[in-house]
Amino acid sequence: MMNTVLGIDIGTQSSKVLVYDFENHRIAAEAQSSHRLIHRDDGTREQEAQWWLDALKACLEQIPPKLKSTVQAIGVSGQQHGFGALDQQGEVLCPVMLWCDTSTVDECEEITLRFGGEKALLKGPGNPILPGYTASKILWLKNHHPDLYEKMAHILLPHDYINFWLSGKYTMERGDASGTGLLDIRNGIWHRAILKALDPDRDFSKLLPPLIESQRSAGRLLEEPARELGLTPGIPVASGGGDNMMGAIGTGTVSPGVITVSLGTSGTLYGFSDSPVIDPAGDLAAFCSSSGGWLPLLCTMNCTVATELNRNLFGLSVKELDMEALKAPPGAEGVITLPFFNGERVPNLPRGKGSIMGLNSDNMSQANLLRSAMESGIYGLKTGVDRFPH
- Enter the pTM of the model: 0.91
Helix axes 305-314, 318-325, angle to 10 degrees: 100
Provide the residue count of the chain. Answer: 390
CATH architecture assigned to 4-241 = 2-Layer Sandwich (3.30)
CATH architecture assigned to 305-384 = 2-Layer Sandwich (3.30)
Return d(Cα 268, Cα 262) in angstroms, integer.
5
Please give the chain's pLDDT, 390 residues, in tens: 789 999 999 999 899 999 999 999 999 999 999 999 999 989 999 999 999 999 999 999 999 999 999 999 999 999 999 999 999 999 999 999 999 999 999 999 999 999 999 999 999 999 999 998 999 999 999 999 999 999 999 999 999 999 999 999 999 999 999 999 999 999 999 999 999 999 999 999 899 999 999 989 999 999 999 999 999 999 999 999 999 999 999 999 999 988 999 888 888 999 999 999 998 888 899 999 999 999 999 988 888 889 999 999 999 999 999 999 999 999 999 999 999 998 888 888 888 999 999 999 999 999 999 999 999 988 888 877 777 766
Is there a common fold for 4-241 and 305-384?
Answer: yes
Element (H, E) at 173: strand 172-173
pLDDT for 385 equals 76
Element (H, E) at 7: strand 4-10
Terminal Cα-to-Cα distance of the chain (whole angstroms): 48
Return d(Cα 376, Cα 371) in angstroms, integer.
9
Taking the domains of the chain in order of start, what are their residue ranges? 4-241, 247-301, 305-384
Return d(Cα 310, Cα 39) in angstroms, integer.
19
pLDDT for 390 equals 64
pLDDT for 150 equals 97
Active site (catalytic) residues: 243
Residue type (1 letter), 388: F
Cβ contact 108:139 at 8 Å: no
